[in-house]
Amino acid sequence: MKSNTSPSEYEKLLAQLEGNEFEDEVCARLQKIYVDFQSVPAKPHGDGGLDGLSHGQSRAYCCYGPEQEVHKLDNKGLKDDIVKKFSSDLRRLFELEFQKRKLQQTTNPQLKSILGEKRKIAHVYLVVSWFESHKVIGALNTQFNKYKTASKLRFVDQNATLTIWGPKNLVTLGEIDEHALFRIQNRALLDSLQTAKPDEYVAGKDGDFDDKFNDLKKRRPASVKRIDAIAERLREAWAAAVALDNDLSKTSLNLHQNLETLRSNAALSANVKSMSSTDPYKLIDTMAKEVAESLEHSFGDRFGNLTPIVTQGVVAGLIGECPIDWRKDGDER
């Protein structure tokens, strides 16, 4: 499927994100670019002032998506917010705090458990959603050098450097693939896909699904635990696929129609294959491969690393809604 991604559209949408949404998208972008990028969860133990690390933990990233209030945009008030926020992050990295308006050494215990032994930060990247004023560059570099001089440098190299990035810099790191653009355009949709629960989306639809796996457990009693694990994973993926279907029906009639066509074709294929095979593993594996190919053709890489979940969810739906059936002679249908 040919990509119609637009770097300028991605840049525009990235610049509009605030708070955690901006941080999450920056981390997703950097994870795509740098194979060893590691995001740092803030809960439950704190992030030590870091949002991510890469290049063998030598590069540190701090993100900020300020609330872009109109009056602050007009009065350049965002510049002060950005300098204040990132100055606070830098003090944490350098283990400094103000006491009676004077910089004093303190400790940042989170950094000890985040950074590996004998690892020090060599480059600090401050990533902000609004980077329209060059005045933040001088102000933040001044603070960076001041803090470096005052610090004991337990976690930052003495020759460490500072770089400030805005949305344009993130765009120029590499190709904007169709998943990146789809992700930033459909954050709520992808969130619902990842958080969908079977009790909410497939409860009441899974009677036949349970019957089929109960039949399989009777035939293979030595594999009951393994079969239960497979069934649970497919049930969770089924909930995600139903959530995706619901969201696309409201947000994109074209993509929803693509999904409906894919499911209809897969159901026909599953019916035909179920007539000639009663091997459940073969049926599931064969249909998973067919669905994966159809998803790639119809949706490209829009779902990114969530594609396997969608694939499994479609297959689980085929099991629950009858087309995939391995029970002999249809005796339990």
Average pLDDT of span 213-230: 93
Domain boundary among 171, 200, 218: 171
Confirm whether 54 is domain-assigned. Answer: yes
Give residue 223's identity as a one-letter amino acid code. S
201 and 306 belong to one structural domain: yes
Domain boundary among 136, 171, 206: 171
Confirm whether 179 is domain-assigned. Answer: no
pLDDT tens digit string along 103-130?
999 999 899 899 988 899 999 999 999 8
Q: What is the pLDDT of residue 79?
A: 87
What does the alpha-carbon distance between residue 166 and residue 63 come to, in Å, rounded to a whole number? 10
The average confidence (pLDDT) of the chain is 90
Confirm whether 287 is domain-assigned. Answer: yes
Residue 126: closest CA among 43, 17, 51, 15: 51
148 and 89 belong to one structural domain: yes
Q: What are phi and psi of 39, to 5 degrees?
A: -75, 155
pLDDT exceeds 90 at position 295 = yes
Confirm whether 125 is domain-assigned. Answer: yes
pTM listed for this prediction = 0.79
- Domain total of the chain: 2
113 and 205 belong to one structural domain: no
Q: Are 259 and 244 in contact (CB under 8 A)?
A: yes
Residue 129: closest CA among 268, 31, 23: 23
Least confident of 22-26, 43-47, 212-216, 303-307: 43-47
pLDDT exceeds 90 at position 43 = no
pLDDT exceeds 60 at position 332 = no
pLDDT exceeds 80 at position 73 = no
The CA R_g of the chain, rounded to the nearest whole Å, is: 25
Confirm whether 1 is domain-assigned. Answer: no
The better pLDDT of the pair 118, 53 is held by 53
129 and 203 belong to one structural domain: no
Domain limits for position 299? 187-330
pLDDT exceeds 80 at position 284 = yes
- Number of Cβ within a 10 Å radius of residue 121: 20
Give residue 181's identity as a one-letter amino acid code. L
Confidence of residue 333 (pLDDT cuts 50, 70, 90): very low
The DSSP string of 189-255 is HHHHHHH--HHHHTTTT-HHHHHHHHHHHHH-GGGHHHHHHHHHHHHHHHHHHHHHHHHHHHH-HHH
C-alpha dihedral sign at 30, 32, 34, 37: positive
220 and 268 belong to one structural domain: yes
134 and 222 belong to one structural domain: no
Confirm whether 182 is domain-assigned. Answer: no
Confirm whether 177 is domain-assigned. Answer: no
159 and 238 belong to one structural domain: no
Confirm whether 2 is domain-assigned. Answer: no
162 and 310 belong to one structural domain: no
pLDDT exceeds 50 at position 2 = no
Domain boundary among 107, 141, 171: 171
- By the 10 Å C-beta count (0-12 exposed, 13-18 middle, 19+ buried), 18 is classed as middle
137 and 199 belong to one structural domain: no
123 and 250 belong to one structural domain: no
151 and 279 belong to one structural domain: no
Q: Within 13 Å of residue 229, how many CA atoms lie on the same side as its CB?
A: 4
212 and 275 belong to one structural domain: yes
pLDDT exceeds 80 at position 266 = yes
